[in-house]
Amino acid sequence: MPLYLLAMDHRASLAATVYKIKGDPNPAEDKQIAAGKELIYQGLLFALSDGGAARSSAAVLVDERYGEHVARQAKAAGVTLAMPIEKSGQEWFTLEYGTLGEGIWMEHVEAFDPRYVKILVRDNPTFDVRDRRRQMDDLATVSQVLTDAGRDLLLELLVPATPAQESATYDDDLRPELTVRVIGEMQAAGVEPAIWKIEGMNTTADAERVQATARQGGRNNVQCVVLGRDAPPEDLDHWLRAAAPAGFLGFAIGRSIWQEPLQAYLAQEIGEQEVVAEVANNYLHYVGVYESV
């Protein structure tokens, strides 16, 4: 069964870029952001209501801070729920609630009971060795706690270029190999996601290498999904068409689905129903692209 995940767990970047909030949002701004996420979720429900996407394949990734109500609605509606545990906007993995030595973060997980527990990390084999080691150790600890609790980790892996690696062909020439290396190194460190949320590959051959690496060493049930990276539709379409034949499970796309309609709504250019309809149409577009391969 494929997984078509609508991602809206953005926090720091959402407040700054979409709502133009400087610093930490105040309570009134918190409510405004939460209301926006409610509209996005209604778009997903609208997409499911017309038979355009199977509810069994639909999923939502939403945070506790701004999306508590959405998370509880999704659980009640039988929509697969994923929730993040990392603190937003950090260079290296940091828990949103508590520390590794405490059980607070796991209490938050248990309070919502998501199907997948998500962590976003940035890594590159050329990053500082000590920082990388510390991050992998922390991820391995969380991974083991989740495994012991019978919960699945969804690991979102970004492999940004260093200044020395930056070029117009980075995504083609360097990122696929770096991604494979990072996955292998994380596995060796004890990081065991059920799903790797991966930046799109431009060729099916590269997507197949990533999938094979994710499943190496007997990890036959591990899956990969394509993340959105706020890419334009033509890039996302290409990534999905490359990933589907490689056996990727589906996608986890966010801003490319909802940012434009949400911004138009905040600028009072469209109403709530238009936001819902545009989010639904954009979501169904990517479902259609994936299923057309």
pLDDT in tens, 57-113: 999 999 999 999 999 999 999 999 999 999 999 999 999 999 998 889 999 999 999
- Say what the pLDDT of residue 280 is: 96
Q: Hey, where are the domains in the chain?
A: 3-291
Task: Please state, in angstroms and rounded to a whole number, the distance separating the CA atoms of residues 9 and 12.
Answer: 10
| DSSP element (H, E) containing 225 | strand 223-227
Task: Please state, in angstroms and rounded to a whole number, the distance separating the CA atoms of residues 37 and 71.
Answer: 10
Residues in contact with 82: Cβ distance below 8 Å, sequence separation at least 6, in sequence order:
5, 9, 59, 60, 61, 62, 114, 115, 116, 117, 118, 154
Residue-wise pLDDT for 29-60, tens only, equals 999 999 999 999 999 999 998 766 788 899 99
- Say what the pLDDT of residue 103 is: 85
Segments of the chain scoring below 50 in pLDDT: none
Nearest to 20 by CA among 9, 8, 32, 35: 32
CATH of 3-291, one of 2.30.30.90, 3.40.228.10, 3.20.20.70, 1.10.510.10: 3.20.20.70
pTM: 0.95
- Say what the pLDDT of residue 293 is: 87
Count of Cβ atoms closer than 10 Å to residue 112 Cβ: 17
190, 140 Cβ separation under 8 angstroms: yes
| DSSP bridge pairs for 117 | 83, 153
- Say what the pLDDT of residue 180 is: 98
H-type alpha helices, the chain: 12-13, 27-49, 64-77, 104-112, 129-148, 170-173, 175-189, 204-214, 233-243, 255-266, 272-291
Residues in contact with 241: Cβ distance below 8 Å, sequence separation at least 6, in sequence order:
289, 292, 293
Task: Please state, in angstroms and rounded to a whole number, the distance separating the CA atoms of residues 81 and 72.
Answer: 9
Which of the 8 DSSP states describes residue 245? G
Task: Please state, in angstroms and rounded to a whole number, the distance separating the CA atoms of residues 261 and 275.
Answer: 5
